[in-house]
């Protein structure tokens, strides 16, 4: 098949799967943030990709600072940088909700326009601050190595690390949504905003928090992104389309749906990419998604509870 032997094919399969893991991680975190915001407030955040880029730039900034001033910490800084990326994106998200988004609820078109404008502003800001050229943080050596379980298979550690981080964060978000009081208030507000107010929930505060949380998760996606690509002002906009695919495919209602759909899209894209040219891989995935959506218009994992 394609001029490869079966054993070569299976090695390629395994390795592309692992490189798919990194893509999966970025897509999943992006989609998680986007879906939380959309599910909660009906806001389609077209600037979501820029929050990812913000996270990536934060990691770059941490890298620069640490390598210049405290090189002793260089092996460990990446962990701290991930946390910093979360808070940087989260805080900017908080400010954006407060200064812009909250005036546009119930006006979806204006929101689209405003968040698109915001994405342009953020891109320009990145360009002014970090320059038009792509930047790469210096990643610690331990992150750049690889396992070699057999002669033909090479598994990058950063892919495994980023995937672990993603699963941890996803689990954390799940715990937060289903075990904390704020999570409960978020779920109540999604289901019935008016009634949530009438049982004493400050839904505007819940909105602000949700938007900020979604942006913070995008920031972590950006941190994960630095392990597979270099960051430029328009890095975010290149991921936003794939992220929307994941959300549409998985449905906004279920975490499992988002995970499965991010996994499916990242893996098929990454494996197909090896055999077809990059764009062909994308087109095939897109075709597959369109077919699935025709069969299951509400996404693969629409939830069923009578109201």
Partner 1 sequence: MLGVNNIDVGYNKSRVIHDMSFKVNPEEILVIMGRNGMGKTTLLKSLIGILPSTSGSIKLGDQEIAGMDSYQRVRSGIGFVPQGRMIFPSLTVTENILSGARGNVAQSTWDEIYALFPVLHEMRKRKGGNLSGGQQQQLAIARALVANPKILILDEPTEGIQPSIIKDIGRALKEIRNMRKIAIIVTEQVVSFMMDVCDRVLVMERGRFIHEAYRDSLNSDKIKALLAV
Name the residues that contact partner 1, by CB under 8 A: 181, 184-185, 187-188, 191-192, 194-203, 303, 305-307
At its nearest, how many Å lie between partner 1 and the CB of residue 175? 15
Cβ-based nearer residue to partner 1, 127 or 187:
187
At its nearest, how many Å lie between partner 1 and the CB of residue 272? 36
At its nearest, how many Å lie between partner 1 and the CB of residue 95? 23
Cβ-based nearer residue to partner 1, 195 or 283:
195
Cβ-based nearer residue to partner 1, 194 or 295:
194
SS3 labels along the chain = CCCCCHHHHHHHHHHHHHHHHHHHHHHHHHHHHHHHHHHHHCCCCCCHHHHHHHHHHHHHHHHHHHHHHCHHHCCCHHHHHHHHHHHHHHHHHHHHHHHCHHHCCCCHHHHHHHHHHHHHHHHHHHHHHHCCCCECCCCCHHHHCEEEEECCEEEEHHHHHHHHHHHHHHHHHHHHHHHCHHHHHHHHHHHCHHHHHHCCCCHHHHHHHHHHHHHHHHHHHHHHHCCCCCECCCHHHHHHHHHHHHHHHHCCCCHHHHHHHHHHHHHHHHHHHHHCCHHHHHHHHHHHHHHHHHHCCCCCCCCCCCC
Cβ-based nearer residue to partner 1, 166 or 189:
189
At its nearest, how many Å lie between partner 1 and the CB of residue 198? 5
Which residue in 43, 48, 51, 31 sits closest to 109, CA to CA? 43
Cβ-based nearer residue to partner 1, 7 or 303:
303
At its nearest, how many Å lie between partner 1 and the CB of residue 174? 15
At its nearest, how many Å lie between partner 1 and the CB of residue 290? 29
At its nearest, how many Å lie between partner 1 and the CB of residue 190? 9
Cβ-based nearer residue to partner 1, 99 or 307:
307
Cβ-based nearer residue to partner 1, 204 or 238:
204
């Amino acid at each position: 098949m394609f001029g490869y032997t079966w054993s070569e094919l299976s090695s390629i399969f395994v390795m592309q799967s692992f490189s798919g893991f990194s893509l999966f991680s970025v897509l999943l975190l992006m989609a998680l943030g986007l879906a939380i915001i959309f599910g909660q407030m009906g806001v389609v955040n077209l600037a979501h990709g820029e929050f990812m880029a913000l996270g990536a730039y934060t990691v770059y900034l941490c890298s620069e600072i640490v390598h210049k001033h405290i090189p002793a910490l260089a092996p460990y800084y990446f962990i701290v940088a991930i946390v910093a990326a979360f808070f940087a994106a989260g805080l900017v998200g908080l400010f954006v909700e407060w200064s812009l988004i909250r005036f546009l609820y119930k006006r979806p078109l204006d929101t689209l326009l405003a968040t698109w404008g915001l994405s342009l502003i953020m891109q320009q800001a990145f360009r002014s601050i970090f320059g038009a050229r792509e930047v790469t943080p210096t990643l610690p050596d331990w992150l750049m190595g690889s396992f070699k379980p057999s002669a033909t298979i090479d598994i990058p550690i950063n892919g495994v690390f980023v995937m672990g981080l993603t699963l941890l964060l996803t689990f954390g978000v799940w715990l937060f949504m289903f075990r904390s009081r704020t999570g409960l208030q978020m779920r109540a507000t999604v289901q019935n905003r008016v009634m949530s107010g009438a049982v004493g929930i400050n839904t505007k505060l819940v909105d602000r928090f949700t938007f900020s949380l979604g942006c913070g998760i995008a920031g972590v996606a950006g941190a994960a992104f630095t392990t597979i690509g270099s960051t430029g002002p328009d890095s975010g906009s290149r991921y936003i389309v794939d992220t929307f695919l994941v959300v549409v495919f998985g449905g906004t209602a279920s975490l499992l749906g988002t995970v499965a759909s991010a996994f499916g899209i990242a893996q098929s894209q990454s494996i197909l990419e090896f055999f077809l040219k990059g764009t062909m891989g994308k087109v095939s995935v897109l075709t597959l998604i369109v077919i699935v959506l025709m069969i299951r218009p509400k996404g693969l994992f629409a939830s069923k509870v009578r109201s």
